[in-house]
Amino acid sequence: MGRWAGQNKFHAPCDRDLPKLDFAPVSNTFYAPGEQRAAKVHALFATIARRYDLINDVQSFGMHRRWKRRLVALANVKPGDRALDVCCGTGDIAFALAAKRAEVTGLDFTEQMITVAEAKKQKAESGKLNFVCGDAMNLPFAESTFDAVTVGYGLRNLASWETGLSEMIRVAKPGGRVVVLDFGKPDSALWRTLYFGYLRLCVPVFGLVFARQIDAYAYILESLKHYPAQRGVEARMRELGLKNISVVNLIGGAMSFNYGEKTEERGCPGRSTSESQTGSGM
Ligand SMILES: C[S@@+](CC[C@H](N)C(=O)[O-])C[C@H]1O[C@@H](n2cnc3c(N)ncnc32)[C@H](O)[C@@H]1O
Protein backbone atom coordinates (compact mmCIF):
# COMPACT_ATOMS: atom_id res chain seq x y z
CA MET A 1 0.00 0.00 0.00
CA GLY A 2 3.02 2.22 0.24
CA ARG A 3 2.62 2.83 -3.48
CA TRP A 4 -0.35 5.07 -2.75
CA ALA A 5 1.61 7.29 -0.43
CA GLY A 6 2.74 10.54 -1.95
CA GLN A 7 -0.04 10.61 -4.54
CA ASN A 8 -2.29 12.62 -2.29
CA LYS A 9 -2.86 16.30 -1.98
CA PHE A 10 -4.55 17.57 1.14
CA HIS A 11 -7.55 19.71 0.42
CA ALA A 12 -9.20 21.89 2.97
CA PRO A 13 -12.28 20.59 4.78
CA CYS A 14 -15.44 21.88 3.20
CA ASP A 15 -17.93 21.63 6.05
CA ARG A 16 -18.18 25.29 6.86
CA ASP A 17 -21.76 25.26 5.58
CA LEU A 18 -22.75 22.56 8.06
CA PRO A 19 -23.90 22.90 11.66
CA LYS A 20 -21.09 22.23 14.12
CA LEU A 21 -23.53 20.12 16.14
CA ASP A 22 -23.53 17.55 13.36
CA PHE A 23 -19.80 17.41 13.06
CA ALA A 24 -18.04 17.51 16.38
CA PRO A 25 -14.46 16.36 15.73
CA VAL A 26 -14.10 12.59 15.81
CA SER A 27 -10.93 10.68 15.16
CA ASN A 28 -11.35 7.79 12.81
CA THR A 29 -8.95 4.94 12.17
CA PHE A 30 -9.68 5.07 8.45
CA TYR A 31 -9.69 8.80 7.81
CA ALA A 32 -6.45 10.72 7.59
CA PRO A 33 -5.86 13.86 5.57
CA GLY A 34 -2.85 14.26 3.32
CA GLU A 35 -0.23 11.64 2.58
CA GLN A 36 -1.91 8.82 4.46
CA ARG A 37 -5.38 9.24 3.00
CA ALA A 38 -5.20 6.69 0.19
CA ALA A 39 -3.42 4.06 2.28
CA LYS A 40 -6.08 4.32 5.00
CA VAL A 41 -8.92 4.08 2.47
CA HIS A 42 -7.26 1.10 0.86
CA ALA A 43 -6.92 -0.56 4.28
CA LEU A 44 -10.58 0.11 5.01
CA PHE A 45 -11.90 -1.53 1.85
CA ALA A 46 -9.43 -4.39 2.05
CA THR A 47 -10.80 -5.09 5.54
CA ILE A 48 -14.50 -4.99 4.71
CA ALA A 49 -14.47 -6.33 1.11
CA ARG A 50 -16.10 -9.68 1.86
CA ARG A 51 -18.93 -8.09 3.89
CA TYR A 52 -19.30 -4.96 1.77
CA ASP A 53 -22.38 -6.03 -0.22
CA LEU A 54 -24.20 -7.31 2.84
CA ILE A 55 -23.67 -4.14 4.84
CA ASN A 56 -24.71 -1.97 1.89
CA ASP A 57 -28.00 -3.85 1.79
CA VAL A 58 -28.50 -3.46 5.53
CA GLN A 59 -27.57 0.20 5.92
CA SER A 60 -29.53 1.39 2.89
CA PHE A 61 -32.46 -1.03 3.43
CA GLY A 62 -31.63 -2.42 -0.02
CA MET A 63 -32.17 0.95 -1.68
CA HIS A 64 -28.59 1.27 -2.97
CA ARG A 65 -29.51 -1.18 -5.73
CA ARG A 66 -32.22 1.14 -7.01
CA TRP A 67 -29.93 4.17 -6.80
CA LYS A 68 -27.25 2.36 -8.78
CA ARG A 69 -29.81 1.41 -11.46
CA ARG A 70 -30.75 5.08 -11.64
CA LEU A 71 -27.08 6.01 -12.09
CA VAL A 72 -26.86 3.58 -14.98
CA ALA A 73 -30.04 5.01 -16.51
CA LEU A 74 -28.48 8.48 -16.36
CA ALA A 75 -25.32 7.16 -18.04
CA ASN A 76 -27.63 6.20 -20.91
CA VAL A 77 -25.33 3.60 -22.45
CA LYS A 78 -26.24 1.97 -25.75
CA PRO A 79 -25.20 -1.49 -26.94
CA GLY A 80 -21.54 -1.30 -27.97
CA ASP A 81 -20.78 1.89 -26.02
CA ARG A 82 -17.59 1.88 -24.00
CA ALA A 83 -18.21 2.59 -20.32
CA LEU A 84 -15.89 2.99 -17.35
CA ASP A 85 -16.98 2.62 -13.75
CA VAL A 86 -14.40 4.21 -11.47
CA CYS A 87 -13.99 2.99 -7.86
CA CYS A 88 -16.08 0.01 -8.93
CA GLY A 89 -15.69 -1.92 -5.67
CA THR A 90 -17.54 -5.22 -5.87
CA GLY A 91 -18.88 -4.30 -9.29
CA ASP A 92 -22.62 -3.56 -8.93
CA ILE A 93 -22.57 -0.57 -11.26
CA ALA A 94 -20.24 -2.25 -13.76
CA PHE A 95 -22.57 -5.28 -13.93
CA ALA A 96 -25.58 -3.01 -14.49
CA LEU A 97 -23.76 -1.16 -17.29
CA ALA A 98 -22.78 -4.48 -18.89
CA ALA A 99 -26.42 -5.59 -18.73
CA LYS A 100 -27.11 -2.73 -21.18
CA ARG A 101 -24.67 -4.48 -23.54
CA ALA A 102 -21.99 -1.83 -23.17
CA GLU A 103 -18.30 -2.79 -23.15
CA VAL A 104 -17.48 -2.10 -19.54
CA THR A 105 -14.33 -1.63 -17.52
CA GLY A 106 -14.55 -1.48 -13.72
CA LEU A 107 -11.53 0.05 -12.00
CA ASP A 108 -10.61 -0.01 -8.32
CA PHE A 109 -7.39 0.14 -6.32
CA THR A 110 -8.39 -2.41 -3.66
CA GLU A 111 -7.51 -5.88 -4.90
CA GLN A 112 -9.84 -7.48 -2.34
CA MET A 113 -12.85 -5.59 -3.74
CA ILE A 114 -11.87 -6.61 -7.30
CA THR A 115 -11.58 -10.22 -6.13
CA VAL A 116 -15.20 -10.13 -4.94
CA ALA A 117 -16.28 -8.53 -8.22
CA GLU A 118 -14.46 -11.21 -10.22
CA ALA A 119 -16.15 -13.95 -8.16
CA LYS A 120 -19.57 -12.42 -8.90
CA LYS A 121 -18.64 -12.28 -12.58
CA GLN A 122 -17.97 -16.03 -12.60
CA LYS A 123 -21.55 -16.63 -11.45
CA ALA A 124 -23.29 -14.16 -13.76
CA GLU A 125 -23.78 -13.76 -17.49
CA SER A 126 -22.10 -10.38 -17.68
CA GLY A 127 -21.27 -9.68 -21.31
CA LYS A 128 -18.18 -7.63 -22.13
CA LEU A 129 -16.95 -6.70 -18.68
CA ASN A 130 -13.48 -6.57 -17.23
CA PHE A 131 -12.11 -5.40 -13.92
CA VAL A 132 -8.76 -3.69 -13.52
CA CYS A 133 -6.75 -2.60 -10.56
CA GLY A 134 -5.78 1.06 -10.84
CA ASP A 135 -5.81 4.51 -9.34
CA ALA A 136 -8.83 6.75 -9.94
CA MET A 137 -6.55 9.77 -9.66
CA ASN A 138 -4.31 8.57 -12.46
CA LEU A 139 -6.52 6.56 -14.80
CA PRO A 140 -4.59 4.18 -17.08
CA PHE A 141 -6.59 5.12 -20.19
CA ALA A 142 -6.06 7.48 -23.09
CA GLU A 143 -7.96 10.72 -23.37
CA SER A 144 -11.45 10.44 -24.96
CA THR A 145 -11.84 6.66 -24.60
CA PHE A 146 -15.29 6.16 -23.03
CA ASP A 147 -18.87 7.08 -23.98
CA ALA A 148 -19.84 7.10 -20.31
CA VAL A 149 -17.82 7.35 -17.10
CA THR A 150 -19.54 6.65 -13.78
CA VAL A 151 -18.56 6.62 -10.13
CA GLY A 152 -20.68 5.46 -7.19
CA TYR A 153 -19.62 6.37 -3.65
CA GLY A 154 -16.07 6.80 -4.89
CA LEU A 155 -15.14 10.47 -5.34
CA ARG A 156 -15.66 11.15 -1.62
CA ASN A 157 -12.98 8.59 -0.83
CA LEU A 158 -10.23 10.07 -2.95
CA ALA A 159 -7.34 12.08 -1.56
CA SER A 160 -8.34 14.67 -4.18
CA TRP A 161 -11.88 14.32 -5.50
CA GLU A 162 -11.13 17.18 -7.89
CA THR A 163 -8.31 15.18 -9.51
CA GLY A 164 -10.59 12.14 -9.73
CA LEU A 165 -13.30 14.17 -11.45
CA SER A 166 -10.79 15.70 -13.89
CA GLU A 167 -9.55 12.23 -14.73
CA MET A 168 -13.08 10.97 -15.41
CA ILE A 169 -13.61 13.88 -17.78
CA ARG A 170 -10.25 13.40 -19.48
CA VAL A 171 -11.03 9.78 -20.43
CA ALA A 172 -14.62 10.56 -21.53
CA LYS A 173 -15.15 11.04 -25.27
CA PRO A 174 -16.42 14.42 -26.45
CA GLY A 175 -20.17 14.26 -25.79
CA GLY A 176 -19.57 11.48 -23.23
CA ARG A 177 -21.60 11.35 -20.03
CA VAL A 178 -19.97 11.75 -16.61
CA VAL A 179 -22.21 10.65 -13.72
CA VAL A 180 -21.49 10.72 -9.99
CA LEU A 181 -23.54 9.10 -7.22
CA ASP A 182 -22.71 9.71 -3.58
CA PHE A 183 -24.00 10.65 -0.18
CA GLY A 184 -25.27 14.21 -0.28
CA LYS A 185 -25.69 17.10 2.11
CA PRO A 186 -29.40 17.97 2.47
CA ASP A 187 -30.31 21.65 2.38
CA SER A 188 -32.93 21.30 5.12
CA ALA A 189 -31.24 21.76 8.53
CA LEU A 190 -33.72 19.46 10.27
CA TRP A 191 -33.39 16.65 7.74
CA ARG A 192 -29.60 17.07 7.65
CA THR A 193 -29.41 16.71 11.44
CA LEU A 194 -31.56 13.55 11.40
CA TYR A 195 -29.65 12.06 8.51
CA PHE A 196 -26.23 12.80 9.97
CA GLY A 197 -27.50 11.37 13.24
CA TYR A 198 -28.31 8.15 11.35
CA LEU A 199 -24.82 8.12 9.79
CA ARG A 200 -23.21 8.85 13.16
CA LEU A 201 -25.18 6.44 15.34
CA CYS A 202 -26.89 3.68 13.34
CA VAL A 203 -24.54 2.97 10.42
CA PRO A 204 -21.48 2.33 12.66
CA VAL A 205 -23.57 -0.11 14.70
CA PHE A 206 -24.47 -2.02 11.53
CA GLY A 207 -20.73 -2.08 10.75
CA LEU A 208 -20.01 -3.46 14.20
CA VAL A 209 -22.67 -6.15 14.02
CA PHE A 210 -22.12 -7.31 10.45
CA ALA A 211 -18.38 -6.69 9.93
CA ARG A 212 -17.03 -6.23 13.47
CA GLN A 213 -15.87 -2.82 12.27
CA ILE A 214 -17.39 0.19 13.95
CA ASP A 215 -14.80 2.68 12.62
CA ALA A 216 -15.13 1.51 9.04
CA TYR A 217 -18.71 2.71 8.98
CA ALA A 218 -18.18 5.76 11.19
CA TYR A 219 -15.83 6.71 8.34
CA ILE A 220 -18.77 7.51 6.04
CA LEU A 221 -19.74 10.57 8.05
CA GLU A 222 -16.11 11.58 8.58
CA SER A 223 -15.40 11.43 4.84
CA LEU A 224 -18.59 13.33 4.02
CA LYS A 225 -17.41 16.10 6.30
CA HIS A 226 -14.43 16.64 4.01
CA TYR A 227 -16.38 16.39 0.76
CA PRO A 228 -18.45 19.22 -0.76
CA ALA A 229 -21.14 16.81 -2.03
CA GLN A 230 -23.63 17.65 -4.76
CA ARG A 231 -23.24 21.45 -4.82
CA GLY A 232 -19.44 21.37 -4.76
CA VAL A 233 -19.28 18.73 -7.50
CA GLU A 234 -21.78 20.71 -9.59
CA ALA A 235 -19.64 23.86 -9.28
CA ARG A 236 -16.51 21.92 -10.21
CA MET A 237 -18.20 20.33 -13.22
CA ARG A 238 -19.04 23.82 -14.39
CA GLU A 239 -15.45 25.01 -13.87
CA LEU A 240 -14.21 22.00 -15.83
CA GLY A 241 -16.37 22.96 -18.78
CA LEU A 242 -19.01 20.23 -18.82
CA LYS A 243 -22.37 20.98 -20.43
CA ASN A 244 -25.95 19.96 -19.57
CA ILE A 245 -24.94 19.83 -15.93
CA SER A 246 -27.64 18.68 -13.50
CA VAL A 247 -28.03 17.64 -9.89
CA VAL A 248 -30.66 15.06 -8.99
CA ASN A 249 -31.41 14.76 -5.29
CA LEU A 250 -32.96 11.70 -3.70
CA ILE A 251 -34.53 11.46 -0.23
CA GLY A 252 -34.24 15.17 0.36
CA GLY A 253 -30.63 15.40 -0.82
CA ALA A 254 -29.29 12.61 1.41
CA MET A 255 -28.26 10.89 -1.82
CA SER A 256 -27.51 12.70 -5.02
CA PHE A 257 -26.41 12.38 -8.61
CA ASN A 258 -24.27 14.84 -10.50
CA TYR A 259 -24.50 14.65 -14.28
CA GLY A 260 -22.54 16.42 -17.02
CA GLU A 261 -21.43 15.91 -20.61
CA LYS A 262 -17.99 16.59 -22.01
CA THR A 263 -18.08 19.34 -24.60
CA GLU A 264 -17.18 18.44 -28.15
CA GLU A 265 -14.27 20.83 -28.47
CA ARG A 266 -13.07 20.57 -24.90
CA GLY A 267 -9.33 20.99 -24.36
CA CYS A 268 -7.23 19.96 -21.38
CA PRO A 269 -8.92 18.76 -18.18
CA GLY A 270 -9.30 21.58 -15.73
CA ARG A 271 -9.62 24.25 -18.40
CA SER A 272 -12.95 26.08 -18.19
CA THR A 273 -14.82 26.82 -21.37
CA SER A 274 -17.62 29.25 -22.08
CA GLU A 275 -19.77 26.29 -23.16
CA SER A 276 -20.79 25.20 -19.68
CA GLN A 277 -24.42 25.56 -18.73
CA THR A 278 -26.82 24.34 -16.11
CA GLY A 279 -29.95 22.41 -16.85
CA SER A 280 -32.35 20.04 -15.22
CA GLY A 281 -33.60 18.10 -18.20
CA MET A 282 -32.63 14.55 -17.52
C1 LIG B 1 -17.67 2.92 -1.10
S2 LIG B 1 -16.83 1.89 -2.24
C3 LIG B 1 -17.89 2.01 -3.65
C4 LIG B 1 -17.92 0.75 -4.46
C5 LIG B 1 -18.94 0.71 -5.56
N6 LIG B 1 -18.76 1.80 -6.50
C7 LIG B 1 -20.34 0.73 -5.01
O8 LIG B 1 -21.04 1.71 -5.25
O9 LIG B 1 -20.73 -0.20 -4.33
C10 LIG B 1 -15.48 2.92 -2.69
C11 LIG B 1 -14.46 2.22 -3.55
O12 LIG B 1 -13.52 3.19 -3.99
C13 LIG B 1 -12.27 2.54 -4.08
N14 LIG B 1 -11.22 3.58 -4.13
C15 LIG B 1 -10.94 4.51 -3.21
N16 LIG B 1 -9.91 5.27 -3.61
C17 LIG B 1 -9.54 4.82 -4.83
C18 LIG B 1 -8.55 5.20 -5.78
N19 LIG B 1 -7.70 6.22 -5.55
N20 LIG B 1 -8.47 4.54 -6.93
C21 LIG B 1 -9.32 3.52 -7.20
N22 LIG B 1 -10.26 3.09 -6.34
C23 LIG B 1 -10.38 3.74 -5.17
C24 LIG B 1 -12.23 1.66 -2.87
O25 LIG B 1 -11.28 0.63 -3.01
C26 LIG B 1 -13.66 1.14 -2.82
O27 LIG B 1 -13.80 -0.07 -3.49
How distant, in Å, are the alpha carbons of 200, 236, 270, 272 from that of 85?
28, 20, 21, 24
Task: Count CA atoms closer than 13 A to 108's CA, side-chain side.
Answer: 30
Tell me, using a 6 A CB cutoff, whether residue 41 lines ligand 1.
Answer: yes
Tell me, using a 6 A CB cutoff, whether residue 108 lines ligand 1.
Answer: yes
Distance CA 128, CA 121 (A): 11
> What pLDDT is stored for residue 3 in this prediction?
36
The whole-number average pLDDT for the span 167-189 is 97
> What pLDDT is stored for residue 229 in this prediction?
96
Domain ranges of the chain: 40-261
pLDDT for residue 236 is more than 70: yes
pLDDT tens digits, 267-282: 444 433 333 333 333 3
The whole-number average pLDDT for the span 67-80 is 97
Q: Which of 33-42, 60-69, 103-112 has the highest mean pLDDT?
A: 103-112
| DSSP strand pairing (146-152 vs 82-86) | parallel
* Predicted TM-score of the model (pTM): 0.85
Smallest CA-to-CA distance from 253 within 236, 231, 235 is with 231
pLDDT for residue 58 is more than 90: no
| Mean of pLDDT over the chain | 84
Confidence class of residue 27 from pLDDT cuts 50, 70 and 90?
A: low
pLDDT tens digits, 198-219: 898 888 888 788 777 777 778 8
> What pLDDT is stored for residue 22 in this prediction?
43
Residue 108 CA to ligand 1 centre (angstroms): 6
> What pLDDT is stored for residue 205 in this prediction?
83
Residue among 45, 95, 155, 171 to mutate when testing ligand 1 (max atoms within 8 A of CB): 45
Residue 139's identity, in one-letter code, is L
> What pLDDT is stored for residue 202 in this prediction?
87
Residue 114 CA to ligand 1 centre (angstroms): 10
Residue among 86, 109, 149 to mutate when testing ligand 1 (max atoms within 8 A of CB): 109
> What pLDDT is stored for residue 265 in this prediction?
66
pLDDT for residue 162 is more than 70: yes
Q: Bigger pLDDT: 273 or 254?
A: 254
Residue among 108, 139, 224 to mutate when testing ligand 1 (max atoms within 8 A of CB): 108
Tell me, using a 6 A CB cutoff, whether residue 136 lines ligand 1.
Answer: yes
pLDDT tens digits, 1-20: 333 333 333 233 334 344 44
Q: Bigger pLDDT: 28 or 245?
A: 245
Look up the CATH number of domain 40-261. 3.40.50.150
> What pLDDT is stored for residue 127 in this prediction?
79
Collect all residues with Cβ–Cβ distance below 8 Å to 185 and sequence separation of at least 6. 17, 18, 192, 224, 229, 230, 231, 253
